[in-house]
Structure 1
Amino acid sequence: MKYVLFDVDGTLIDAVSNQRRVWATWAQRYGLDADEVYRTALRSRPMETFAQVAPDRDPRECLAVLHELEDEDVRTGVYAAFDGAPDLLHGLPPGSWALVTSNYEHRVRGRFRRTGLPVPGVIVDAAAVEEGKPSPDPYLRAATRLGAEPGDCLVVEDAPSGVRSGLRAGMTVWGVNAPTAVEGVHRHFGTLREAVPHILAFASGPQGNAAA
């Protein structure tokens, strides 16, 4: 059996404007430049972002404020699934796919409810592992929970840290929703829609050359 492990934000759900808005509001609360804060947040985890942009602030307070803003955004923000996501997720065999996210499960479930996407039985979130992406731990944890071998897993990602995570886990990694390929991916698709038939073929196909 083959398995597909999906990143969420930027891969299945378009949350860029939401993330930018949340970080802009957070930056405003602390009197910081929103663009600089967002650029930092894109390449680091929240606690690392706080250390760089607000080193004089209590990081626990910073995180609490961020969580409050993110939870409010899940309740009131506008979300959209990328074209092809509903067909793709409904077309995968039950028990053959999982979500691997640097966010938290309750927010992912909230976003999926808002967009009408089906929720799988396995979600590996930021609280499930000690080290997030680009560590291989999140994807390895998902494979374990699915009862899958890494070599039978396809990772679908849009960001360099997630791509590195999947590669370090020994999995096939395909990139989507980017104009150019992220370094290291085995295949690249400009949009999720372009990748849908290939992902479904992978999931239903025999074991073999997944990277082709």
Structure 2
Amino acid sequence: MISEPARQGRMKYVLFDVDGTLIDAVSNQRRVWGTWAERYKLDADEVYQVALRTRPMEAFAQVAADHDPRECLATLHELEDEDVRSGIYAAFDGASELLHSLPLGSWALVTSNYEHRVRGRFLRTGLPVPGVIVDAAAVEEGKPSPVPYLRAAQQLGARPEECLVIEDAPSGVRAGLRAGMTVWGVNATVAVEGVHRHFDRLREAVPHILAFASGPHGNAAV
């Protein structure tokens, strides 16, 4: 059994979503899905609205039910990989300072994308890559399931109550809350339902995230 002083001295952990939280990829995602829709002669705006709310295979079932979903996914992967190589990316203001300031082993990435794309984008934007990345291939259940965030905590050796989740999207917020973690929302003008704190921009959250990472146990939602 761990004594109370030992508990208070335990490390704190920060788990980050990637697209929309650390990397500004909205225009890239819209362009990729637009090109994908053109390949299948579908309405690009309608496809993108569905893609925003669902995982790819679920989106295919809704907008391209008469096509082989494996073929649809292969086409999407091809377009996304090309976008990583040639698309224009930018990290959100504050992301580089924040990630470079966090202690090694205290943070992870939890993404619905794939690790090789995350690494490609981070390389192009100069962001450091952590030792733990939980991507779409690492779990059978994606967000809003708590599984991705719980997997990241497990790999870091953290308890859920020691983790702060930084998210921009409702599905990610729900995933963090279901995992029993503190969840802060960023990069949205309206707070996502359920978040413990909300910041319009990541830059505004940076000092508070760093304070969480170095502060005493139990101040997560302050």
Pair in the same fold by TM > 0.5? yes
Deviations 1:75-125 (A, max 9, x none): 000000000000000000000000000000000000000100000000000
- Asked if the contact 2:94/2:206 (under 8 Å) is kept, the reply is yes
* 2:142 is the counterpart of 1:142: no
| Alignment map for 1:35-54 (pairs within 5 Å) | 35-54=45-64
2:104 to 71, 94, 97: 94
Q: Partners in 2 of 1:15 and 1:135 — Cα distance? A: 23
1:28 to 26, 32, 38: 38
Provide the residue aligned with 1:118 in structure 2: 128
Please identify runs of 4+ aligned residues in structure 1 that moved more than 6 A. Answer: none
Q: Partners in 1 of 2:218 and 2:143 — Cα distance? A: 26
Deviations 1:54-95 (A, max 9, x none): 110000000000000000000000000000000000000000
* 2:170 is the counterpart of 1:171: no
Cα RMSD, aligned residues only: 0.3
Q: Partners in 1 of 2:57 and 2:152 — Cα distance? A: 24
Q: Quick check: which has more Rg, 1 or 2?
A: 2
- Distance apart, 1:10 and its partner CA: 0.1
Count of aligned positions: 212
Q: Partners in 2 of 1:161 and 1:136 — Cα distance? A: 10
Q: Secondary structure at the match of 1:183?
A: coil
Provide the residue aligned with 1:56 in structure 2: 66
1:196 to 189, 206, 212: 206
Provide the residue aligned with 2:87 in structure 1: 77
The one-letter amino acid of 2:192's match is: V
Q: Secondary structure at the match of 2:151?
A: helix
Q: Secondary structure at the match of 1:165?
A: helix
The one-letter amino acid of 1:29's match is: R
Q: What is the TM-score when the length of structure 1 is the normalising length?
A: 1.00
* 2:75 is the counterpart of 1:65: yes
- Distance apart, 1:208 and its partner CA: 1.2
Structure 1: gaps of 5 or more residues: none
Q: Partners in 2 of 1:142 and 1:33 — Cα distance? A: 37
Structure 2: gaps of 5 or more residues: 1-10
Percent sequence identity is 85
Q: What is the TM-score when the length of structure 2 is the normalising length?
A: 0.95
Q: Partners in 2 of 1:63 and 1:115 — Cα distance? A: 26
Deviations 1:17-73 (A, max 9, x none): 000000000000000000000000000000010000011000000000000000000
